[in-house]
Structure 1
Amino acid sequence: MSDLDIERVQVYAVGPETTRYTWASDMADQFMTHNVIRITTRGGLEGIAAAASYTDHDFDRSVAETLRPLLPSLIGTSALAREHLWYRLQSHNLPTAPQALSMIDIALWDLVAKHARLPLYQLLGGARSKILAYASTPMLRDPQAYVDFVAELRGQGYQAVKFHAWCEADRDLEMARAVHARHGGSGLRMMLDAEQRYDRRDAYRAAADLETLGFTWFEAPLVDTDLEGYRDLRQRVNIPILPAGNWVMDPGLVWQGIRREAWTSVRVDASFAGGITPTGKIMALAESAGMTCELQCWGYTLQQAANLHLMSSRCRTPRSSSACWTSSAPTPRATCTRRPAPGSGCGSTGTPCARRPSSRSRRRGTADRGRAGSGADQTVDGPRSFCHSVL
């Protein structure tokens, strides 16, 4: 037995009751569940990671419950055996919630970086300590609301903005033209995310218009699995085309998209794609094909950590997404800077959650925060917060 053998694993699904947003006209306001894992070794070293769930009508318990049958396989295994565990824990029966394996793998990378007394991005490659950030909007009321919001973001220092609108081609293009008319000559880079909602005809029409407006890229015009549609779109326009990066996430499947020249850049999220181990493989595949790899990065801080460290570890990752869903931007100077703390640099602090049913109000605009931490029988910060524990 070794001090690096895994002795305990704790999992929490935490849902703060707060203002909710949506990013498509056919989507309900989203409940964002913060799934957190803490892995502890016999020697007391801890690795922490998180991944989000986005669901209609209620918080999500599926990721935490997917982890429940996996946890016994971790106990007694060396925390250094990341590659071994990543292969061992993959299901060869039916698909499972993708965040589950991601959380385990990221927590193990956090733990081994702490063991090495290195910031995770340095352990992974250490290419840079600062990256550009772009603002990412929610769906707003009308084109003028986007024009005004972009003015706020520019005042906060952002040099690039990605728009989430109604995911209806005519309305989205009206917004894009309005924003371009007001901010197009300022040097601001603009992107549009259609959330996989367009058909091929609307995708081509929108791509042609966005190219005329000088947009930096067009994201998720088609469902991720329509590789032929993406390839056809790329052959007809010059604007860079990116996938959503939420459905084609396995390295082997991503390689099929690369081979078919479906995308200008690969797009993926380590907290959904199985963790840092497979995401590193995907980044290497993109680099070998002469492509960049755009890593998704938004949501709660602990969820963002893995992608930020991966971005900082390699040279061919363009920029970080910063979800500006209030008028107060989290990164006023439009950059993200890594600090030289061991591991991911994130801890799990604050009031942990209780293992009890949720009691919440559906009112919008409240500001309670339920935070994850250690222990099974403690309280949650605020009566409207949701927590589901797996120990």
Structure 2
Amino acid sequence: MKITDIKVFVTCPGRNFVTVKVYTDQGLTGVGDATLNGRELAVASYLKDHVVPCLLDRDPMRSEDIWHYLYRGAYWRRGPVTMAAIAAIDTALWDLKAKAANMPLYQLLGGASRDRVLCYTHAQGREISEAVDAVGARIEQGYKAVRAQVGIPGLPDVYGTGSSGVTNTAADSDLPKEEVWSTAKYMPRIPALFEELRAAHGADVHLLHDTHHRLTPIEAARLAKDLEPYRLFWLEDTVPAENQDGFRLIRQHSTTPLAVGEVFNTIWDCKQLIEEQLIDFIRTTCVHAGGPTALRRIMDFAGVHHVRTACHGAADMSPICLGANLHLDLWVPNFGIQEYSGYTDEMLSVFPHAWTFSDGYLHPGDAPGHGVDFDETLADKHPYQRAYLPVNRLEDGTLWHW
């Protein structure tokens, strides 16, 4: 079998997605996600101009060799653009390989370790009462786990704190939105939120919270300690993780479980965090961490150190990424939870899928491959629109972590 063509598509059915489709001389195809929110065209160019010419006429079954060819062969390793491009090719090749074997991807990985995949979704409000009601609505929909966020008094809506969980869409603006942040106003608000959530919804629902990298280590330690009475499933992305030592201070002061990793690109970004058990959940995901080949290595490494998996699953990654994640989730022994923020009907029409949701759980389905397809004709009706993620400033104007 030979690769005869690789096409790169950029489409915007509500938000931008980058999709790779690998074609072979035996008629089999595979698709992968290469979306990098706010930098989509950089990945598309990397693929079309630098990767695709190197892979034509290669054997698609040699996915391991191709992964190392793209990673080691570029010399300039790692980084979000490179790893998203590698992830797209790798995901497409695993999809193709599983189709050739006529089995779902999870079977090719070693088979299922569970019957279904626990997932969490998002709920938020401008006021605590609104957030409490939003979490209740999610519980009524069958969710067993909910990430809760709330607005901060004296601040305009910031990502994850307003009435909507959407970050940005292509229709919002053609330049980055600038948000305003105050840690001092945020810190007392969050324990008050979770006190009300536990009073309203009891101890059985799993509650999560995302600080979105905005705190310093000592601030994060204080918040994690303040939240201990409410038994969070986890506290997510407390500090910017470039300095992995920052998590040591948080760990010393609190037993609140910690999760991080959605912006990580390789195993090297989380090596110390996992080895020293400074986190409880690793949130790396297929499209940002180099595809199934790389992600399953991170997952296995985490399992040796009592760290569980929790793939990032925001809507700024296409349904292809979620489909591939779900196959890994079903297989991996040290699974924790899967984020599921959902997609619009418009998005799902471009990406027909085999995965299903029921009663708080997801299943990848048993279609050969990863179970997500791509409608090229429909995608053409949704052209790319430039869009950015927001940026964040403190009240004095200092650029801060978003």
TM-score range, shorter chain: 0.7 to 0.9
SS at match of 2:368: coil
**In the alignment, which of 248, 251, 255 is matched to residue 267 of structure 2?**
251
Letter in 2 for 1:380: K
Is the alpha carbon distance of 1:153 and 1:118 closer, same or farther for their aligned partners in structure 2, counting shifts above 3 Å? same
- Would you say the 8 A contact 2:218–2:249 is kept in 1? no
Counterpart-to-counterpart distance in 1, 2:84 and 2:195: 37
Aligned partner of 1:360 in structure 2 is none
Residue 293 (structure 1) shift: 2.1
Aligned partner of 1:75 in structure 2 is 56
- 1:48 paired with 2:48, answer no
Residue 89 (structure 1) shift: 0.9
Aligned partner of 2:44 in structure 1 is 64
Aligned partner of 1:26 in structure 2 is none
Letter in 2 for 1:150: V
Aligned partner of 1:130 in structure 2 is 116
**CA displacement, residues 223-270 of structure 1 (integer Å, 9 cap, x when unaligned):** 1222111022112111111114313x3223422222233212322111
Residue 180 (structure 1) shift: 2.7
Counterpart-to-counterpart distance in 2, 1:350 and 1:325: 18
1:1-391 matches, cutoff 5 A: 4-17=1-14, 32-55=15-38, 60-68=40-48, 69-90=50-71, 91-93=74-76, 95=79, 97=81, 98-127=83-112, 128-137=114-123, 140-164=125-149, 165-166=160-161, 168-183=186-201, 185-247=202-264, 249-299=265-315, 300-323=318-341, 331-349=357-375, 351-352=377-378, 371=379, 379-381=380-382, 385-386=383-384
Letter in 1 for 2:297: K
Counterpart-to-counterpart distance in 2, 1:325 and 1:214: 29
Residue 140 (structure 1) shift: 3.4
Percent of pairs with identical residues: 26
Residue 325 (structure 1) shift: 8.2
Residue 47 (structure 1) shift: 0.5
- Would you say the 8 A contact 1:118–1:343 is kept in 2? yes
Residue 151 (structure 1) shift: 1.2
Letter in 1 for 2:384: F
Residue 294 (structure 1) shift: 1.9
TM-score (normalizing by structure 1):
0.79
- Of the structure 1 ranges 91-100 and 146-155, higher mean CA displacement relative to structure 2 is found in 91-100
Counterpart-to-counterpart distance in 2, 1:290 and 1:96: 27
Counterpart-to-counterpart distance in 1, 2:106 and 2:326: 8
Counterpart-to-counterpart distance in 1, 2:284 and 2:37: 16
Is the alpha carbon distance of 1:196 and 1:116 closer, same or farther for their aligned partners in structure 2, counting shifts above 3 Å? same
- Would you say the 8 A contact 1:220–1:243 is kept in 2? yes
Is the alpha carbon distance of 1:50 and 1:315 closer, same or farther for their aligned partners in structure 2, counting shifts above 3 Å? same
Counterpart-to-counterpart distance in 2, 1:227 and 1:240: 16
State how many pairs are aligned: 334
Residue 96 (structure 1) shift: 5.4
Letter in 1 for 2:75: H
Counterpart-to-counterpart distance in 1, 2:205 and 2:269: 34
Letter in 1 for 2:198: H
SS at match of 1:70: helix
Is the alpha carbon distance of 1:92 and 1:332 closer, same or farther for their aligned partners in structure 2, counting shifts above 3 Å? same
TM-score (normalizing by structure 2):
0.77
Counterpart-to-counterpart distance in 1, 2:59 and 2:370: 19
Residue 324 (structure 1) shift: 5.2
- Of the structure 1 ranges 146-155 and 262-271, higher mean CA displacement relative to structure 2 is found in 262-271
Is the alpha carbon distance of 1:307 and 1:212 closer, same or farther for their aligned partners in structure 2, counting shifts above 3 Å? same
SS at match of 1:40: strand
**CA displacement, residues 272-328 of structure 1 (integer Å, 9 cap, x when unaligned):** 1011101111111111223222222342422211110100112211222111589xx
Letter in 2 for 1:281: R
- Would you say the 8 A contact 1:36–1:50 is kept in 2? yes
